[in-house]
Amino acid sequence: MKTNPALIALLAAGLAVSACSKKPPKVLPPDPGAAVSTETPASSQGPVPGSQADFAATLMGQDTILFDTDKYNIDSADQTALAAQAQWLAKYPAKRITLEGHCDERGTREYNLALGERRANAAKNYLATLGVDPMRIATISYGKERPAALGSDEASWARNRRAVTVTID
Amino acid sequence: MNTMSLALALALTAQPAFTQSAPDAATAQTAEPAIDVTDDSDWQNQTIAIPSFATNADVPTQASAGSTSALGFALAGVITADLQNNGLFKPTGPAALPRPALPQIQAPEYNNWGARGTDMLIQGYVRAEAGGQVTIGCYLYDVALKQQLAKAGWTLAPGDWRRAAHKCADLVYSRLSGESPFFDSKIAYIAEVGPKDRRLKRLAIMDSDGQNHEFLTTGQTTALTPRWSPDYKSILYLSYFNGQPRIYILDPATKSQRLLLSAKNPLFAPRWSPDGKWVLYSMASAGNTDIYKIPAAGGGTAIKLTDSPGIDIGGSFSPDGSRIVFESDRSGSQQIYVMNADGSGQKRISFFGGRGATPEWSPRGDQIAFTHIVGNLRVATMDPQGGSLRYLTDSWQDEAPTWAPNGRVIQFFRTAKSTGRTSVWQVDLTGRTLRKLDTPVDGSDPAWGALRP
Least confident piece of the model among A83-87, B27-31, B216-220, B344-348:
B27-31
Least confident piece of the model among A79-88, B204-213, B295-304:
B295-304
CB B427 within 8 A of CB B410: yes
Rounded alpha-carbon distances, angstroms, from residue B446 to A12, A67, A105, B14, B439 = 42, 30, 18, 33, 11
- B194 contact residues in A (CB cutoff 8 A): none
CB B202 within 8 A of CB B223: yes
B201 touches chain A (CB under 8 A): yes
pLDDT exceeds 60 at position B283 = yes
Q: How far apart are the C-alpha atoms of B195 and B420, rounded to whole Å?
A: 8
Residues B415 and B297 grouped into a single domain: yes
Least confident piece of the model among B23-27, B80-84, B227-231, B238-242:
B23-27
Residues B283 and B204 grouped into a single domain: yes
Confidence at residue B263, expressed as pLDDT on a 0 to 100 scale: 86
Residue A99 host element (H or E) = strand A97-102
> What single letter denotes the amino acid at residue B193?
V
How many structural domains compose chain B?
A: 2
Q: Which of A109, A113, A122 sits opposite B400 (nearest CB)?
A: A109
In-domain check, residue B24: no
The pLDDT tens digits for B364-373 are 999 999 999 9
The highest-confidence range among A47-51, B83-87, B444-448, by mean pLDDT, is: B444-448
pLDDT exceeds 60 at position B398 = yes
List strand residue ranges (DSSP E) for B214-342, in order: 214-215, 223-228, 235-239, 246-250, 257-259, 267-272, 278-285, 288-295, 303-304, 312-317, 323-328, 335-340
Q: How far is CA B59 from the centre of its chain?
A: 35
Contact B289 A125 (CB under 8 A): no
Domain boundary among B145, B177, B209: B177
The residue segments making up the domain with residue B416 are 185-451
Residues B210 and B171 grouped into a single domain: no
Q: How far apart are the C-alpha atoms of B379 and B327, rounded to whole Å?
A: 15
Name the band, by pLDDT with cuts 50, 70 and 90, for residue B88: confident
Residues B194 and B270 grouped into a single domain: yes
Residues B411 and B280 grouped into a single domain: yes
- B397 contact residues in A (CB cutoff 8 A): 105-106
Sequence length of chain B is 453
In-domain check, residue B77: yes
Q: How far apart are the C-alpha atoms of B16 and B21, rounded to whole Å?
A: 13
Q: Looking at chain B from residue 398 to 427, which residues have their Cβ under 8 Å from any Cβ of chain A?
A: 399-400, 415, 417-418, 420
In-domain check, residue B363: yes
Mean pLDDT of chain B: 90
Residues B414 and B366 grouped into a single domain: yes
Q: Looking at chain B from residue 363 to 382, which residues have their Cβ under 8 Å from any Cβ of chain A?
A: 371, 373, 377
Confidence at residue A18, expressed as pLDDT on a 0 to 100 scale: 40
In-domain check, residue B27: no
In-domain check, residue B25: no
| ipTM value for the complex | 0.87
Q: How far is CA A52 from the centre of its chain?
A: 9
Residues B130 and B205 grouped into a single domain: no
Q: Chain A residue with minimal CA distance to B286?
A: A121
Q: How far apart are the C-alpha atoms of B340 and B346, rounded to whole Å?
A: 7
> What single letter denotes the amino acid at residue B72?
G
pLDDT along chain A (169 residues), means of 10: 47 40 44 43 74 95 96 96 98 97 97 97 98 96 97 97 96
**Residue B49 belongs to domain with CATH number:** 3.40.50.10070
Contact A152 B327 (CB under 8 A): no
pLDDT exceeds 70 at position B385 = yes
pLDDT exceeds 60 at position B23 = no
Residues B200 and B149 grouped into a single domain: no
Residues B149 and B210 grouped into a single domain: no
Q: Which of B222, B358, B415 sits opposite A110 (nearest CB)?
A: B358
B314 touches chain A (CB under 8 A): yes
Q: How far apart are the C-alpha atoms of A124 and B377, rounded to whole Å?
A: 31
Domain boundary among B177, B193, B216: B177
Selected for mutation to probe chain A from B247, B311, B358, B442 (highest A CB count within 10 Å) is B311
What number is the average pLDDT over the span B422-450? Answer: 94
Q: Which of A108, A118, A150 sits opposite B358 (nearest CB)?
A: A108
In-domain check, residue B50: yes
Q: What is the DSSP letter of A67?
A: -
pLDDT exceeds 90 at position B447 = yes
Largest CA distance in chain A: 49
CA distance to partner chain A, nearest, from residue B362 (Å) = 20
Residues B226 and B145 grouped into a single domain: no
Domain boundary among B177, B201, B218: B177
Q: How far apart are the C-alpha atoms of B224 and B202, rounded to whole Å?
A: 8
DSSP codes of every residue in B157-186: -GGGHHHHHHHHHHHHHHHHH-SPP-SSEE
DSSP codes of every residue in B11-23: HHHS--S--SS--
Confidence at residue B181, expressed as pLDDT on a 0 to 100 scale: 96
In-domain check, residue B34: no
Name the band, by pLDDT with cuts 50, 70 and 90, for residue B22: very low
* Domains along chain A with CATH numbers: 5-167 (3.30.1330.60)
Stronger pLDDT, B67 or B11, i.e. the higher one: B67
What number is the average pLDDT over the span B287-303? Answer: 93
Selected for mutation to probe chain A from B225, B271, B283, B313 (highest A CB count within 10 Å) is B313
Burial B249-272 (b: 16+ CB within 10 A, else e): bbebeeeebeebbebeebbbbbbb
The pLDDT tens digits for B305-345 are 999 999 999 999 999 999 999 999 999 999 999 999 999 99
Residues B167 and B195 grouped into a single domain: no
CA distance to partner chain B, nearest, from residue A109 (Å) = 8
**Residue B375 belongs to domain with CATH number:** 2.120.10.30
Confidence at residue A37, expressed as pLDDT on a 0 to 100 scale: 41
CA distance to partner chain B, nearest, from residue A151 (Å) = 5
% of chain B residues with pLDDT over 90: 83
For B57-87, give the secondary structure using H, E and C. CCCCCCCCCCCHHHHHHHHHHHHHHHHHCCC
In-domain check, residue B284: yes
pLDDT exceeds 90 at position B32 = no
3-class SS at B337?
Answer: strand
Confidence at residue B245, expressed as pLDDT on a 0 to 100 scale: 92
Neighbours of B416 (CB within 10 A): 14
Residue A18 host element (H or E) = helix A5-19
Q: Chain A residue with minimal CA distance to B243?
A: A140
Residues B96 and B119 grouped into a single domain: yes
Stronger pLDDT, A144 or B29, i.e. the higher one: A144
Q: Looking at chain B from residue 266 to 305, which residues have their Cβ under 8 Å from any Cβ of chain A?
A: 266, 268-269, 282, 284, 286-289
B196 touches chain A (CB under 8 A): yes
Helix axes A76-91, A109-129, angle to 10 degrees: 60
Q: List the Cα angle A148/A153/A155 in 5-degree steps.
A: 60
Confidence at residue A46, expressed as pLDDT on a 0 to 100 scale: 85
Confidence at residue A4, expressed as pLDDT on a 0 to 100 scale: 53
